[in-house]
Amino acid sequence: MARHFLAWIGLGIAATLAATPALAQSTSAGGKDPSIPEDSSGPTPAPPPAVPPPAPPPPPIAPGVTGGARDAANDFQDWAVAVVAADWRSGQGQPIRAFENSRRDLAAAFERAGFARRNIAALSLAPNPDGSMLGPQQAAASIEAITRRATAGCLLYFTSHGSPAGIVWGPNGLMSPATMDRLIDGWCGTRPTVVVVSACYSGVFVPALARSNRMIMSAARRDRSSFGCSEDATHPYFDACVLEALNGAADFLALSLRTTGCVNRREREEGLRPPSEPQTYVGAQMQPLLPFLQFARP
């Protein structure tokens, strides 16, 4: 796939991303030397003062920031956020709370990280006690609505069961990588976009979603399961590690590295094999931007 430059961060591999290029700056070379009128009868005029060397250029300014100062609390205020629990059952078809807990707790954690509550949609495809439910098409329409209102960027988080063909999307649906790519293109276009797919085999989404303006995080390699979707789990392991990592991560790049390290540690401690190996892709346009998008801290 040759559309865009791929930057991969695999499990246990530290990658140094390209440093942010400094913006072109103009410097003043100083004023013009003053003219000295001739006066043959007076004393010899003093030589003109030395012109000081030009001042060093100011430090680079983050994209969209003026005045050389960045208010971290406002970085994500106009970003659209959707957290979707797309399944509510175990692998044996029994009701579980893990996906619902992730939907609730991740939405709250992203709000604490600086995203505006009014722009966060926490959506569940599970049936309500009365039997009613948010259908897959209604969920997609809700995401579209919030991305129309908040237009600076997109954060889309999907937690569900998965297979090599895609993720479970509602009671009988399956969201394929190609379908998700088409939907995200319609929702977010070319704006900065972070997509997280938490499911078994979710690495299948990475090449399909890879674009220059996107960062993609998956809970597992395309040929690996992830863990923590049983009846007794509070969160899927990957979601739990995202929540843990958000407590100390400064930005999405740090979030990815911390989450991967957490998953690796937990699987190793519990003897889970083969390891899930979460995957991360960072598009070329996102590499210089992400370090400037800092999470808020309480």
pLDDT at 74: 63
Does residue 251 belong to any structural domain of this protein? yes
CATH at residue 117 = 3.40.50.1460
Sign of the torsion formed by the C-alpha atoms of 167, 81, 102 and 132:
negative
Query: 17-67: per-residue pLDDT in tens?
Result: 333 333 333 333 333 333 333 443 444 444 444 444 444 444 343 443 333
Does residue 183 belong to any structural domain of this protein? yes
Q: Two tokens at 266?
A: 């937990």
Mean pLDDT, residues 171-182 taken together: 96
Q: Which ranges in the chain belong to alpha helices (H)? A: 98-112, 136-149, 177-188, 205-209, 237-246, 252-269, 286-289
What is the residue whose two structure tokens read 């991303």?
17
pLDDT at 109: 98
Does residue 270 belong to any structural domain of this protein? yes
Query: 236-274: per-residue pLDDT in tens?
Result: 999 999 999 999 999 999 999 999 999 999 999 999 999
pLDDT over threshold 80, residue 145: yes
Q: d(Cα 130, Cα 135) in Å, to the nearest integer? A: 15
pLDDT over threshold 60, residue 69: no
Cβ contact 104:141 at 8 Å: no
Does residue 297 belong to any structural domain of this protein? no
Angle at 222 between CA 221 and CA 223, to 5 degrees: 90
Is the pTM higher than 0.85? The answer reads: no
pLDDT at 129: 87
Domain count of the fold of the chain = 1
Does residue 155 belong to any structural domain of this protein? yes
Query: 127-143: per-residue pLDDT in tens?
Result: 998 889 999 999 999 99
Query: 92-116: per-residue pLDDT in tens?
Result: 888 999 999 999 999 999 999 999 9
Cβ contact 170:159 at 8 Å: no
Crossing angle of helices 136-149 and 177-188, in 10° steps, is: 30
Per the structure, the complete domain to which residue 120 belongs is given by 70-292
Q: d(Cα 268, Cα 262) in Å, to the nearest integer? A: 10
Mean pLDDT, residues 69-87 taken together: 80
pLDDT at 230: 80
pLDDT at 68: 34
Does residue 62 belong to any structural domain of this protein? no
For all residues of the chain together, what is the average pLDDT?
Answer: 82
How buried is residue 81: exposed, middle or buried, by Cβ count under 10 Å (0-12/13-18/19+)? buried
Q: d(Cα 8, Cα 280) in Å, to the nearest integer? A: 6
pLDDT over threshold 70, residue 5: no
Mean pLDDT, residues 161-167 taken together: 97
What is the residue whose two structure tokens read 């509550």?
117
Does residue 181 belong to any structural domain of this protein? yes
Does residue 31 belong to any structural domain of this protein? no
Q: d(Cα 244, Cα 259) in Å, to the nearest integer? A: 8
- Provide the b/e sequence for 113-138 (b: ≥16 CB within 10 Å): bbbbeebbbbbbbbeeeeeebbebee
List, in sequence order, every residue forming a beta bridge with 8; answer none if it has no partner. 281
